[in-house]
Amino acid sequence: MSLARGVAATVRHAACVGALGGTLGMMAADAQIRSPPQRPIGPTPRAGSWEIGGGPAFVGGYDLGSASADLSRNSTTDTNPFTLFVTDSNVTPAWSPFGRVAYYVSPKLAVEGGVRFGRPVYQIDLSGDAESAPDVVAEETLDQYLFDASVVWHFSRPPASRSRIVPFVYGGAGYLRELHEAQELVETGIEYHAGAGIKYWFGNAPRRFGFRGDGGLSVRDGGFDFDEGLRIVPVAGVSLVFLF
């Protein structure tokens, strides 16, 4: 009995090292050699399990650059425009609630879909007016929806593991839908994302709650932007999850 606890303790320690250093596979193999086969009781969900969750995500803002309201100068020699005023545009970061449902294809592989809603603020700094209009920050609030799907790969523990922490990586794509204030203009785009995180399970029961934290990058093609190119924003989220 004490040996078993000792093995479990060793593996738990190794898991932490493995998550950080990439040696998990080696240590897990070592544990399997020293432990007799047994019914999975670790934190790894079984194939066919479902997971639902939700929480807040922090979605980074982005800069839309400067633009000037220019008039053509009355000169045959000076080609520099006459600037009436200058604008500097950005979209602020926003906390965005999200919900997600995942299906475990195998103990390590899950597919998930989710929806996220945020209300970032689009700001334009207006300054440098040629006729001394006071500087102003004009604003509007965007309604930002993201419908996405991801593949999640869990660095799952050996069956005998009692570690409650499961690291994972994910990647996927989504449909971005952004509505300007009054919802009279819609801008849509494709979103790609990738990242990593951990799940912490409260217990090992087949049905259990857990905590998920993850962070990554969201690459948008389209949606509200001034340029045709891709833009990248950081995304981080925490959520309460339930496995069943």
The contact set with another protein (CB under 8 A) reads 64, 67-76, 81-82, 84-85, 87, 89, 122, 124, 126, 129-134, 136-140, 180-182, 184-185, 226
Q: What is the distance, to the nearest Å, from the Cα of residue 49 to the centroid of all Cα atoms in its chain? A: 22
Closest distance of CB 111 from another protein, Å? 36
**C-beta of 49 vs 87, nearer to another protein:** 87
Distance CA 38, CA 203 (A): 18
**C-beta of 24 vs 91, nearer to another protein:** 91
**C-beta of 85 vs 211, nearer to another protein:** 85
Closest distance of CB 94 from another protein, Å? 16
**For residues 112 and 100, is the Cβ–Cβ distance under 8 A?**
yes
Distance CA 189, CA 174 (A): 9
Reading the block at residue 237, the tokens are: 């989220």
Closest distance of CB 96 from another protein, Å? 20
**C-beta of 73 vs 207, nearer to another protein:** 73
Distance CA 122, CA 57 (A): 18
**Dihedral-angle region of residue 6 (phi above 0 means left; psi in -120 to 50 means alpha; beta otherwise):** alpha
Closest distance of CB 192 from another protein, Å? 23
